[in-house]
Each structure stands twice: as C-alpha cells, then as structure tokens.
Amino acid sequence: MSSATVPQPGATRRRSLAQRVAYNVRRRMTSIWTLMPTVAINVVLHEPRIMAGDELFAKVLLESADSDTIVDEFYADIEGVGRTGWVNVHTDKIYEAEREYLQKHIPLMPSGSSLPAGRHQFPLRVFIPETAPSSNESQFGNTRYTIKVVLKTNSEQSTCTEVFPFVVVARLFFDDIPQNIMQNIEFKDEVDFTCCSLPFGTVSIKISLPRTGYRIGEMLSCTVIIYNRTRKALKDCCVHVVLKTQFEAMSRYEHVNEKKLSERVVETAVLGNVKSRTDVQFDNCLLKIPESTPPTQCYNKHSPDPNIIALTYVLRFVALPGIEMEIPLVITAKGYRDGHTPYFDQPSEFSKCSKGVNLLMTTLNSGQYSFASRCGEETRIRQPIIN
C-alpha cells in the first residue's frame, strides 16, 4: 500500500508567505513603472549672464519616450521678481515688499498637437528691460529671474513642470557715471586719541586712488600712507571692499516703509601692523572686484518699477584700536560703451582737514552720484556731471 506524502503545515505557510511577498513586489514594481515619467525637459542658455537691455537667447530641450502624447498646454513663463522681508523681533511687526520686473508668456506648441517620440528643440528669445536690477541673494531679500516650462498632456506620466534660474546683471557703464569719478584722487583722515581729556597722539591716514569707478572683474590698486604719532602700535591694518545692501519694505498692517542695511566684505588686502611713532607707506595694495558681484544699483524711484534693493560699494580701511575710514566706490557692469581705454592724468585732492573726515555718497534720484566731504564747518561738494 503506497503512502501519499502529506505536506507539513509550516511549509505551506512559508510558501504562501513567500508568494504574497513576491506578489506585493511585482505589484509595486508595476505601479512604479506605470508612474515613471516619459519626458525630460532642460533649458540651455546662450550666455550664463545676461545684461539688462539685451536679449535672452535660450533653447528648451524636450525628450519624449511616448509616441501617443497629445499636448494640452506647452509654454514657458519668464519672470523676474524682487522680494524683501523681515520681522522686527522687538515689535513683532512684519515687513515685506515685492516688485515684478519681468513677465513674459511664450507658447511653445499649440493645444491639441501630437508630440512624437524623440528629442525636440524650442527656441526662446526674450528682451530684458534696461531698468531690470541685478540678480541678488541675501538674508533680507532677493531678486530672482527664472524660466518656468510647463507641459500638460493627456497622460500623467508626460505632464511636468520645471523651473530654471538665470542671472541678470544691471546695465551700467563708465559713460553713465560722472567723469570726475574717473580721476586720480586722495583721501585724508586724522584720528585724535585722548586719555582722561589729555592728548594721546594723532594718527593720520592718506589713501591714494587712480579713480573711484571700476568695473566688475577689474583690479583696484591703492596706496596707503599711515602716520602714527601715538605711543601705541596699530594692529591688524587692512583694506576691504565692502558691499552695502539696503532693503526697503512696508509693514503688513500699518503700511509704513522701513529700511534695513546689511554689509558683506567681498575682497580684503591685509597690510599688517604699524609701530608707534613711525610712518609707513603701503604701495600697490591690490584688491580685485569679484566677477560674481552685482554692479552699483540705485532705487530708481522715478522708473515704472522702482527697485526695493539698493547696492553700494565702499573701500574701507580698518585698524585697531578703533580706526575706520570709508571711501565710496562705483562699480559698473562693463567699461565704456565704445570700448576705448580711459586716460587719467588730472590728479585731484578730495579734502584736507585737521578733524576726522566723514565720506558720504549721495545717490541722486536721476541715477547720478555726488560726493561730499564734511570736516568741521567746511563742506565741499563735487558737483555731478548731468548729461
């Protein structure tokens, strides 16, 4: 009599569990394969940085793996938006502002078109307004330019939205600034030290510059002369190129404008220490204006889209104990429009005074600049050249 093999209960449970796991894995893989996108979108720019007033040339690259795709909507939105905002921790007031500098809608394919499988190119050509501000990222605000590509089809797998950023540089040349900024100039300052109302000595500083207008990527060369008449050494003497960013925003409920200032050192030249009762001259102090920094930017309150972020530059000399001197600079995007090389041969002295010199730069509403020197009762202003 033959005996049939009786399966063990544990083996049956193990096989059924393994079958359930395999079934779940196959089902998940099938769902993942079903939801995988069948298109890929990319954007290629003709130039990495676009100057305001020029045209943006780009190509939208589309690769499709589905031959039965019907386009419902396929377009590109080119946007440029500036935003500022912060919260006052003492009053709990919320300040925010937003400006739109660029808004373009470009259809790439008509609705109902068939999109065959393969690779496709769609050219883009957009004019950037001349008054558009530079791209900027900071703590209390930013200015961003983006290309948003939207594709909507009859299939969920071939519907997608991609956002691609690009960089805009404000339009500013040497021709747009007063020509007295492009002359040799000397800045002087004196700091009197006292101890218990008794004179402790004087530190005199003189900085010579070939000009105060430079373009992005240019090398700045200056000469620093320090006359230390005190009995203490000056430590950590250095020269900085500082970017000052001023943000403007409005309170959410009171509708009151408020401004906030932030500073960032973009380049440094270390000079060293100066001994007591000595005179030291530092020649050819070189500082390069970084290529990634934006040019000087005013508010342009008379333009249809005023800027809410202002950018200014200063050359700052600092030393311990407590010596600081600032010289305003103007940074442009490029040199002269016609590309000619400037010739500077007329030296001019900015100011002379026995007290401390406070150097200011006043931004005019028209976009021009004027420089002022205040020393005691004397005030002299170099008038801007108005075209």
Average pLDDT estimate for 88-93: 89
How many whole angstroms separate alpha carbon 228 and alpha carbon 263? 29
pLDDT at residue 351, rounded to an integer: 40
**With contact defined as beta carbons under 8 Å apart, do 245 and 302 qualify?**
no
pLDDT at residue 196, rounded to an integer: 74
**Domain 39-169: top CATH class:** mainly beta
Please determine, for residue 362, whether its predicted confidence score (pLDDT) is greater than 70. Answer: no
CA neighbor of 189 nearest in space, from 373, 353, 328, 360: 353
Was domain 174-382 assigned CATH 2.60.40.640?
Answer: yes
Least confident of 6-10, 168-172, 211-215, 326-330: 6-10
pLDDT at residue 66, rounded to an integer: 83
CA neighbor of 261 nearest in space, from 305, 188, 301, 312: 312
The predicted-structure confidence for 206-223, as pLDDT tens digits, reads as follows 999 999 999 999 999 999
Over pLDDT 90: what percentage of the chain? 60
**With contact defined as beta carbons under 8 Å apart, do 183 and 350 qualify?**
no
Given the DSSP bridges, would you call strands 257-274 and 213-215 parallel, antiparallel or unpaired? unpaired
pLDDT band, residue 161 (cuts 50/70/90) = very high
**DSSP per-residue letters across 194-253:** EETTEEEEEEEEEEEES-SEEETTPEEEEEEEEEE-SSS-EEEEEEEEEEEEEEEEEETT
**With contact defined as beta carbons under 8 Å apart, do 213 and 173 qualify?**
no
Please determine, for residue 132, whether its predicted confidence score (pLDDT) is greater than 80. Answer: yes
Bridge partners for 193 per DSSP: 201
**DSSP per-residue letters across 21-33:** HHHHHHHHHHHHH
Cα-atom radius of gyration of the chain, to the nearest Å?
Answer: 32
pLDDT at residue 65, rounded to an integer: 87
DSSP 3-state assignment of 100?
A: strand
pLDDT band, residue 355 (cuts 50/70/90) = very low
Domain boundaries, the chain: 39-169, 174-382
Summary mean pLDDT of the chain: 81
| Cis previous bond, 165, omega within 30 | no
Over pLDDT 70: what percentage of the chain? 76
Report residue 268 CA to chain centroid gap.
19
Here the tokens at position 305 are 């889209």
Average pLDDT estimate for 343-356: 38
pLDDT at residue 290, rounded to an integer: 94
The predicted-structure confidence for 233-285, as pLDDT tens digits, reads as follows 999 999 999 999 999 999 998 889 999 999 999 999 999 999 999 999 999 99
Please, which residues have CB within 8 angstroms of residue 337's CB and are 6 or more apart in sequence?
173, 175
The predicted-structure confidence for 247-256, as pLDDT tens digits, reads as follows 999 999 888 9
What is the helix (H) or strand (E) element at residue 359, kind and residue range?
A: strand 358-363
How many whole angstroms separate alpha carbon 314 and alpha carbon 325? 10
Q: Nearest 5°: CA angle at 337, between 335 and 338?
A: 110
pLDDT at residue 16, rounded to an integer: 67
Amino acid at 196: C
Please determine, for residue 347, whether its predicted confidence score (pLDDT) is greater than 50. Answer: no
CATH fold match for the domains 39-169 and 174-382: yes
Average pLDDT estimate for 66-93: 92
Please determine, for residue 315, whether its predicted confidence score (pLDDT) is greater than 90. Answer: yes
How many whole angstroms separate alpha carbon 177 and alpha carbon 213? 8
Amino acid at 81: V
Please determine, for residue 74, whether its predicted confidence score (pLDDT) is greater than 80. Answer: yes
The predicted-structure confidence for 26-71, as pLDDT tens digits, reads as follows 555 444 444 567 889 999 999 989 999 999 999 999 998 888 888 9
- 0.85 exceeded by the pTM? no
